[in-house]
Structure 1
């Protein structure tokens, strides 16, 4: 989700109970400003990690006020986002093959938080009837203009997608941004046909990287992330929404050396280090070198709505 060219949004302090068990009893892991903008807590009853209170609105609330007329073509103002999405299409080649075997005749596929649509385009080329759902209107306009695909500038809950009408839903690095993950999963469950599948990917926080880095962990530091799932908490949440697990893997991502340098800067939490790495990256064209790195700090799952 992009938060570029946004209208001013007044921050609101919001206290929330645990999204998994409903308890309102959490211990503080990282105070506001230590790991990220919001304070991060863990439920004492079930262990779910989440931001509370929230002094920064959820991304979907920020992005809905985005005015694409301010900056024009999103590729011009956020080239790093385009390079990242374009390169990472290759990371889902095995998942695309898995879905093609499950659905030889293909069917209707929705990608939630589809960004600028490179992966959505790949699914369309595989023969799926695709629709993107993305609250950033500028990205939706780009998808329709440049990718030739349908993209709805909204979220699933207000999209009007009928119940029991979709074969596959794809949700990649989105669930950690939404204000009510259980409600989102329950909505996905409703729109899927009986036997339909959800592909979900999100960072994990029972990883070696989190144990080693703590407050400096890269994904934890993202101000847009408001839920932080372990293998156990994500499994319990998907099961609570009604899903049955079909596949669970710890995966990596393709990235540029420029992106790796940016991540190191985030981990350092030092503006001086970030400036130094940015200068080196620009001078040496780090953005031209791409590779895949798997630190087992992300989890990709396929779950199914029972028939």
Structure 2
């Protein structure tokens, strides 16, 4: 038997990767249930939200209503059995039907055809029109419906329900509705073709095998499963059909009425940012201080200087380290006007979708946070300070289903979280200012990656002590400025997160500050709090500096050429970011029992 030449390794790996990924997608789609016939009328249990061109037969409505009723579902996404190949593959890539219902924080995705929805969900989602929704409307509603029914949403194949033809001219707009810029639609196709071409150039024989594996992947994914794509017989033409599909998608110019309104909002935002920056950024900073805000020491040394990597708003931000106590703080710190400017469009507005995605990606740590209090108390009322969109509270309900979760935040997101049902009550405003109203109300207060954002951490801790009942617990999680990789990665370490993080505390400092307020540390966690974002975040920051800024605060217009430039940068940078993320996962696994981490958690009891 002849030995495999080194030149054949790359195409062989590509072929193997395609088959392994195809088998993964096949397992996902095989978990889809199929509607059983039902005789009982649909009644008022659910209402049907449909995309334009979709008509649901009475038999499908009866079956869907019966399926939802018997399984206690508030939202049921109806998947046509003849969904086209590319649509079926897209569905398998973004949804795992086996875990979709139980994963409270996964992004709501579906076939974008029709949904059976309880009226209460329609009310929470704020939707009035339920028939003939355009691709953007049905996509956004699917995501919002999952948020409003996080553990009562599922998907099901609904024969004889037939798929409507895909309008490629509108597909780009639908992708953008998921927070995925349309021109980026070319990136996955370009990456696949670059790999296939590289494999073919390395070894023609095995390169042909890789191309054949690429053609065979759709058959592997759907053969014998619940879906019967209407165009499966043409899947062998995938190397020709896919580029046509993706290029037509990227060149689509149609915009929904909602997206046109968003463009008007963006234009107004661009004018506002232009006015804000006309006189420079000096007013966004206070005077530089010569003493440490934590201990009053005078021995200060520059720790790092960094631009705004996340939003790329103008300015250079400096963090100083106190040589006496180790406290790291922003110096000069942002003024009130600066806070408003740099936080604007980060967690809400233009940045709301990105923020939601970021919180969803970090969902695995939420359960660990909630479980940390289990050895010490069974919480009755829990206040999450700096809750944002209340992702933690939503996830923590799985651990503590009988606990009343409230949230507090400065942004309007907290009010939306209450409307979705993720929290029982949302308080909007400053925690120290609301502490009197909330005094003695909670047996657990949490601050997850909140304290480092505040202007005066001491007043925040005072407020927490006031809000807690005697014997209550305060749970804090923050980045660790003593993490060795913070120095190695320099300004690219995500934990610095300028200009948002104004204070970073060594664990000993925070422990002492709590003790001064009658709070005794009862548990500490380091390895469990590890956020696997060091090298991946560093790579992301480096890649974004190489691409043009298309945000409303950029002085340059978002031309087609600059958009394509971003596509190229993402295409080349994606493997680097992925490699960084894999390194982070290895570090997290290696440090599991080492007691070190880029973050730490501290649980303290009010004496």
Q: Are the structure 2 counterparts of residues 305 and 15 from structure 1 closer, same or farther at C-alpha, using a change threshold of 3 Å? A: farther
| Distance in 1 separating the partners of 2:306 and 2:357 | 31
1:253 paired residue number? 531
Is the partner of 1:176 in helix, strand or coil?
helix
* Alignment match of 2:570 (pick from 278, 282, 289): 278
Question: Relative to total residues, which structure has the larger strand share, 1 or 2?
Answer: 1
Q: Are the structure 2 counterparts of residues 123 and 218 from structure 1 closer, same or farther at C-alpha, using a change threshold of 3 Å? A: closer
| Distance in 2 separating the partners of 1:147 and 1:91 | 21
* Alignment match of 1:202 (pick from 463, 467, 478): 478
Q: Is the 8 A contact 1:169 1:192 kept in 2?
A: yes
Q: Is the 8 A contact 2:440 2:468 kept in 1?
A: yes
* Alignment match of 1:12 (pick from 281, 285, 290): 285
| Distance in 2 separating the partners of 1:42 and 1:261 | 25
Q: Is the 8 A contact 2:493 2:538 kept in 1?
A: no
Q: Is the 8 A contact 1:34 1:215 kept in 2?
A: no
Q: Are the structure 2 counterparts of residues 242 and 64 from structure 1 closer, same or farther at C-alpha, using a change threshold of 3 Å? A: farther
**Which has more radius of gyration?**
2
Deviations 1:254-305 (A, max 9, x none): 67xxx97554232x3871179566345789x97xx99984371111111111
1:109 paired residue number? 382
Q: Which moved more, 1:194-203 or 1:84-93?
A: 84-93
Is the partner of 1:140 in helix, strand or coil?
helix
Q: Are the structure 2 counterparts of residues 269 and 292 from structure 1 closer, same or farther at C-alpha, using a change threshold of 3 Å? A: closer
| Distance in 2 separating the partners of 1:153 and 1:214 | 35
Is the partner of 2:452 in helix, strand or coil?
coil
1:42 paired residue number? 321
CA RMSD of aligned residues (A): 3.9
Q: Which moved more, 1:38-47 or 1:76-85?
A: 76-85
* Alignment match of 2:417 (pick from 143, 147, 157): 143
Q: Is the 8 A contact 2:326 2:505 kept in 1?
A: no
2:605 paired residue number? 304
2:464 paired residue number? 188
| Distance in 2 separating the partners of 1:28 and 1:130 | 40
The aligned runs of 1:1-307 (5 Å cut-off) are 8=276, 10-16=283-289, 17-31=291-305, 37-55=316-334, 57=336, 61-62=339-340, 77-104=351-378, 106-125=379-398, 126=400, 127-137=402-412, 139-147=413-421, 149=423, 150-159=425-434, 160-250=436-526, 251-253=529-531, 261-266=536-541, 268=542, 271-272=545-546, 278-280=570-572, 293=585, 294=588, 296-306=597-607
Relative contact order: is structure 1 or structure 2 higher (C-alpha 8 Å, sep ≥ 6)?
Answer: 1
Q: Which moved more, 1:184-193 or 1:153-162?
A: 153-162
How many angstroms does 1:24 deviate by? Answer: 4.9
How many angstroms does 1:84 deviate by? Answer: 2.4
Q: Is the 8 A contact 2:475 2:601 kept in 1?
A: yes
Unpaired segments of 5 or more residues in structure 2? 1-265, 310-314, 549-565, 592-596
Q: Are the structure 2 counterparts of residues 55 and 167 from structure 1 closer, same or farther at C-alpha, using a change threshold of 3 Å? A: closer
How many angstroms does 1:99 deviate by? Answer: 2.4
| Distance in 2 separating the partners of 1:95 and 1:140 | 20
TM-score w.r.t. length of structure 2? 0.42
Q: Is the 8 A contact 1:20 1:237 kept in 2?
A: no
Is the partner of 1:85 in helix, strand or coil?
helix
- The total of aligned residue pairs comes to 290
Q: Are the structure 2 counterparts of residues 249 and 62 from structure 1 closer, same or farther at C-alpha, using a change threshold of 3 Å? A: same
How many angstroms does 1:244 deviate by? Answer: 1.1
2:166 paired residue number? none
Q: Are the structure 2 counterparts of residues 95 and 13 from structure 1 closer, same or farther at C-alpha, using a change threshold of 3 Å? A: closer
Question: Relative to total residues, which structure has the larger helix share, 1 or 2?
Answer: 2
Deviations 1:160-188 (A, max 9, x none): 43322211111001111101111111110
Q: Is the 8 A contact 1:172 1:201 kept in 2?
A: yes
Q: Are the structure 2 counterparts of residues 51 and 90 from structure 1 closer, same or farther at C-alpha, using a change threshold of 3 Å? A: same
